[in-house]
Amino acid sequence: MKKLTIAGHEFDSRLFLGTGKFSSNALMEQAILASGTQMVTVAMKRIEMGDKDDDMLRHVTRPGIQLLPNTSGVRNAEEAVFAAQMAREAFATNWLKLEIHPDPRYLLPDSVETLKATEQLVKMGFVVLPYCQADPTLCKRLEEAGAATVMPLGAPIGTNKGLQTRDFLRIIIEQANVPVVVDAGIGAPSHAAEAMEMGASAVLVNTAIAVAGDPVQMAQAFKQAVEAGRAAYEAGLGAAGLTAAASSPLTAFLD
């Protein structure tokens, strides 16, 4: 498989993992290892006094894994820039998953604020991976603003509904000059494989793995699906047709 390159960095794995919703940090760590991922998201929260939490960073900080802090919780570009600065300081990386979704019911990204924040953050030296609507025009604008990837949604976060936006994802992939990472809504390995067969550069999966009966086995399943989908894309899928096309000789042994 071809390596994935983002902002000059090469990745063997095309599966990005979110760290939310696991029942324990230990299980999350095992799932990360089983997935073979090299890109792991991390959120931020306010420290509470006397906090004796198990530090999640300890479970995700490994050689070969790029931390991808997100800006979850921000409502506009101004808050996103603040969160980005805090993330860069806390995690010593300028990589950023920009996500601005002020509406708590559907968690849909605010396109206007996302574009505005991308423009500012790129100028501030961040490697910006924006979570965005599956809007081909917006994705071009994000690319022009200097986004390192675009990360259009397949369906709303955590819904496990798969690639509801597939027709638009196809257009985005066709037009993009930066990697397209399908983020959100991927609920089954088959969804991930579909995105990869379509030519997506990578997928970001969280809920589907974290809430599975066996998250570690599900992480392996996603790893295989992403690899299979990518291999199929690189191999070149056959064209679909309406009428039958024989794959066995029809006249070889009967007169």
Partner 1 sequence: MKISVNGKERECAENATINTVAQELQLPVKGVAVAVNNKMVPRAEWDSFTLHGHDRLTIIKAACGG
Active site (catalytic) residues: 97
Q: Is 91 in the site for partner 1 (CB under 8 A)?
A: yes
Tokens of 234: 């690189």
Q: How far is CA 78 from the centre of its chain?
A: 24
Enumerate residues 166-225 that contact partner 1 by CB under 8 A. 204, 206-207
- Pairing relationship of beta strands 4-6 and 9-11 according to DSSP bridges: antiparallel
Angle between helices 215-235 and 25-35 (to 10 degrees): 20
How far apart CA 135 and CA 172 sit, in angstroms, is 7
Q: What are phi and psi of 195, to 5 degrees?
A: -60, -40
CB 240, min distance to partner 1, A:
33
Nearest to 70 by CA among 33, 106, 96: 96
Q: Is 255 in the site for partner 1 (CB under 8 A)?
A: no
Nearer to partner 1, 107 or 228 (CB): 107
Q: Which one of 25, 111, 160, 175 is in contact with partner 1 (CB under 8 A)?
A: 25
What amino acid is encoded at 211 in this protein?
A: V
CB 148, min distance to partner 1, A:
18
Please identify, among the stretches 6-14, 39-47, 163-171, 195-203, the one whose residues bind partner 1 according to the rule CB under 8 A: 39-47
How far apart CA 3 and CA 123 sit, in angstroms, is 27
Nearer to partner 1, 92 or 244 (CB): 92
CB 111, min distance to partner 1, A:
20
How far apart CA 84 and CA 162 sit, in angstroms, is 29
Q: Is 49 in the site for partner 1 (CB under 8 A)?
A: yes
Instruction: Catalogue the E-assigned strands of 99-160.
Output: 127-132, 151-152
Please identify, among the stretches 48-56, 119-127, 211-219, 229-237, the one whose residues bind partner 1 according to the rule CB under 8 A: 48-56
Nearest to 150 by CA among 162, 167, 137, 166: 137
CB 42, min distance to partner 1, A:
5
Q: Is 37 in the site for partner 1 (CB under 8 A)?
A: no
Q: Which residues bind partner 1 (CB under 8 A)?
A: 18-22, 25, 28, 41-49, 55-57, 70, 72, 82, 85-87, 89-92, 157, 204, 206-207
